[in-house]
Amino acid sequence: MGYEFLADGIHILVAEGSLAVDATTVFDAHDFSVYSDECCHFSPAGNDILQQFVASTIVEHFAKSE
């Protein structure tokens, strides 16, 4: 189990009509650390990148449904 399991589950959720997206690659284009510690907490830059991804995904979803 891990990210692959979760990513596979996204397809099921979408097929059932849920808004679900795979954000596992959202930081790939950035060449700096997006974490503020050695665990899993994002830095302010990491939070900004994720926030922009989530916001644009929501806007795209509602633009398509109009």
Residue-level pLDDT at 34: 94
pLDDT in tens, 17-58: 888 888 889 999 999 999 999 988 999 999 999 999 999 999
Residue-level pLDDT at 65: 74
Residue-level pLDDT at 4: 80
**SS3 at position 5:** helix
Residue by residue, what is the 3-state secondary structure of 6-64? HHHHHHHHHHCCCCCCCCCCCCCCCCCCCECCCCCCECHHHHHHHHHHHHHHHHHHHHH
48 compared with 14, residue with greater pLDDT = 48
Examine the pLDDT at 1 and tell me if it is beyond 90.
no
Examine the pLDDT at 3 and tell me if it is beyond 80.
no
